């Protein structure tokens, strides 16, 4: 079994304060995350090894947005999202 058999994935947005490196303005941005929630149980076809892996598996989410567009109308440049983890355990 693959790791993706262990979770159900859904997309959620969370707000974060980001600092534009071009104009230095801080604003609130909605970032998209892939939330990978551990399933309640494994399908019956799982073997010993799968069960051991599944027992250790923890829900987590992965940030999908790496770039943001500055909200300052006079700037509007794209910049890389930094200062926020790209993987978060749930
Ligand atoms: Zn800016």
The pLDDT value given to residue 6 = 96
What is the whole-number distance in angstroms between the Cα of residue 33 and the centre of ligand 1?
23
Mean pLDDT value of segment 37-49? 94
What is the whole-number distance in angstroms between the Cα of residue 4 and the centre of ligand 1?
37
DSSP letters, the chain, are: --GGGSEEEEEEEEEEEEE-TTT--EEEEEEEEEEEEEPSS--TT--HHHHHHHHH---EEEE---EEE---TTT--EEE--SS-SEEE-
The pLDDT value given to residue 43 = 86
pTM equals 0.86
What is the whole-number distance in angstroms between the Cα of residue 12 and the centre of ligand 1?
25
Mean pLDDT value of segment 50-76? 97
What is the whole-number distance in angstroms between the Cα of residue 63 and the centre of ligand 1?
21
Mean pLDDT value of segment 68-72? 97
Mean pLDDT value of segment 56-63? 97
Residue 79 has pLDDT above 90, yes or no: yes
What is the whole-number distance in angstroms between the Cα of residue 16 and the centre of ligand 1?
15
């Amino acid at each position: 079994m693959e790791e993706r058999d262990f979770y159900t994935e859904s997309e959620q947005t969370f707000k974060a304060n980001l600092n534009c490196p071009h104009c230095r303005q801080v604003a609130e941005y909605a970032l998209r995350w892939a939330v990978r929630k551990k399933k309640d149980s494994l399908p019956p076809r799982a073997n010993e090894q799968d069960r051991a892996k599944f027992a250790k598996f923890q829900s987590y989410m992965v940030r999908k947005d790496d770039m943001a567009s500055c909200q300052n109308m006079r700037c509007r440049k794209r910049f890389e999202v930094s200062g926020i983890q790209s993987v978060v355990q749930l």
